[in-house]
A = this chain, B = another copy of it.
Amino acid sequence: MRFVTRDTDYALRALIYMAKLKGRTATVDEIASKGKLPKVFLRRILQKLAGEKMLSSRKGKTGGFTFLLKPGDIKVTDIMRVFQGDIDLTNCLLKGKACPNKGVCSLRKKIKSINSTVIKELDKITIKSLAG
């Protein structure tokens, strides 16, 4: 069970590192070597976050990445959604079709409520709180 994928994990590590720089721009190279993350992979991750308007990026010499949103405004769930899609523990196999099995459906309802709880808890956690 992969609740947090590698992308998300790397992204969080990178963002936590960056949050400690107080606005200073950092290059992929710096973040990768300091955080012991695979460079090329990390690069794609940061590019993605830039595309999502969470980070701003700058090309060329003196380029790099920095926050566009405030670390306190970026939730763990935001990052998970970027790299893993919606957080949904209830992946019913019969999407759309009527379920022939009320038992399974009642289980699904239960898991749905568990899912809400999980999201509510994760929503409380921001990059800032993890970096602090």
Contact = CB atoms under 8 A, between A and B. Distances in A.
B91 A106 contact: no
A100 interface: yes
Interface in A2-18: 2-4, 6, 9, 12-13, 16-17
- Give the interface SS of chain A, mostly helix, strand, loop or mixed: helix
A91 B130 contact: no
Interface of A: 1-4, 6, 9, 12-13, 16-17, 35-36, 76, 84-85, 87-91, 93, 100-101, 103-104, 106-107, 110-111, 114, 117-118, 121-122, 125, 130-131
A111 B6 contact: no
A80 B1 CA distance: 11
